[in-house]
């Protein structure tokens, strides 16, 4: 039966919850913005001194007056600093994305982008007897977006495919236009990703503990960047993989 006291009470409680939730969402957003700002500022501050550290270490490495012990130490510090620089650069990319205005973005021919990345990776891969092949449509494949960001997506996926594939393997990059969508597929017959790892590989700093993966160097930021860039372009990314058989990453983007 109708009970104005009870119904009004419920309505007020719902409104109160809604307001609290709204405030919570706002606070979370502010925290997320603050985190991005903090990471970007710290990374930016680290960048300049790191560049000079790496530069001076390279100079020192060329110094013929060093003892073997010192030379080994310098080489180890150099490797560490280069790795640190890579983390800083990737953190900057990760926390800067979203800053450029996507509404003002132009149309990118993804076919040309993919062809360029395939070519760029083919030669270094060949040194490990890995083939990198592109299956691309004949004509242009227009996508709305920011060219260097889309290039970053393709370069990262193809770079990973080569990195996580043993010598003699195969990487195939396919670009298709399906029902108004552009589908980019990067398949390798490399080490693969376990089901447990698949749930985490797009998280920041996540790296597989699988010994086959762990001995290949990386920061664990690559796929986090890829996912953020794809999201921002209104697309989606999915992963199919089996440990020991290989991996397929599939990116869907709205066609222009």
Give residues in contact with ligand ADP (CB under 6 A): 160-161, 164, 188, 190-193, 201, 206-208, 213, 218-224, 247
Compute φ and ψ for 234, nearest 5 degrees: 75, 20
Closest residue to ligand ADP in the complex (CB): 218
Q: How many other β-carbons are positioned within 10 Å of the β-carbon of residue 152?
A: 19
Q: How far is the CB of 86 from ligand ADP (least distance, A)?
A: 9
Secondary structure (3-state) at 215: coil
Q: Which is nearer to ligand ADP, 118 or 161 (CB)?
A: 161
Rounded distance between C-alpha atoms, residue 252 and residue 174, angstroms: 12
Q: How far is the CB of 187 from ligand ADP (least distance, A)?
A: 9
What are the angstrom distances between the C-alpha of 10 and each of 5, 7, 14, 240? 9, 5, 6, 46
Q: How far is the CB of 167 from ligand ADP (least distance, A)?
A: 15
Q: How far is the CB of 150 from ligand ADP (least distance, A)?
A: 17
Sheet architecture: strand order including 131-135 = 131-135, 170-178, 181-188, 246-254, 236-242
Q: Which is nearer to ligand ADP, 177 or 194 (CB)?
A: 194
Q: Which is nearer to ligand ADP, 74 or 193 (CB)?
A: 193
Q: Which is nearer to ligand ADP, 145 or 222 (CB)?
A: 222
Question: How does strand 142-145 pair with strand 181-188?
Answer: unpaired
7, 52 in Cβ contact below 8 A?
no
Within 13 A of 133's CA, how many CA atoms are on the CB side? 9
Q: How far is the CB of 101 from ligand ADP (least distance, A)?
A: 26
Q: How far is the CB of 128 from ligand ADP (least distance, A)?
A: 14
Q: Which is nearer to ligand ADP, 115 or 239 (CB)?
A: 239
143, 105 in Cβ contact below 8 A?
no
Q: Which is nearer to ligand ADP, 105 or 223 (CB)?
A: 223
What are the angstrom distances between the C-alpha of 42 and each of 39, 55, 88, 89, 92? 5, 20, 9, 11, 9
Q: Which is nearer to ligand ADP, 105 or 213 (CB)?
A: 213
Q: How far is the CB of 223 from ligand ADP (least distance, A)?
A: 3
């Amino acid at each position: 039966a109708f009970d104005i006291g009870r119904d009004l009470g419920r309505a007020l409680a719902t409104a109160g919850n809604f307001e609290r939730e709204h405030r919570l969402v706002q606070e979370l957003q502010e925290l997320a913005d603050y985190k991005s700002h903090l990471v970007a500022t710290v990374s930016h501050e680290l960048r300049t001194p790191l560049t000079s550290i790496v530069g001076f270490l390279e100079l020192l490495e060329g110094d013929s007056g060093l003892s073997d012990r010192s030379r080994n130490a310098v080489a180890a510090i150099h490797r560490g600093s280069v790795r640190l620089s890579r983390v800083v650069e990737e953190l900057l990319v990760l926390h800067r994305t979203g800053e450029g205005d996507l509404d003002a973005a132009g149309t990118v021919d993804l076919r040309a982008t993919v062809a360029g990345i395939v070519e760029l990776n083919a030669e270094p891969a060949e040194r490990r007897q890995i083939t990198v092949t592109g299956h691309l449509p004949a004509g242009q494949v227009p996508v709305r977006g920011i060219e260097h960001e889309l290039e970053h997506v393709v370069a990262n996926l193809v770079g990973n495919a080569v990195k996580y594939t043993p010598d003699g393997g195969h990487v195939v990059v396919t670009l298709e236009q399906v029902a108004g969508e552009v589908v980019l597929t990067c398949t390798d017959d490399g080490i693969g990703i376990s089901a447990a790892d698949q749930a985490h590989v797009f998280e920041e700093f996540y790296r597989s503990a699988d010994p086959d993966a762990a001995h290949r160097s990386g920061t664990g930021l690559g796929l986090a960047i890829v996912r953020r860039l794809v999201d921002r372009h209104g697309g989606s990314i999915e992963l199919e993989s089996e440990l020991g058989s290989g991996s397929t990453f599939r990116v869907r983007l709205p066609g222009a």
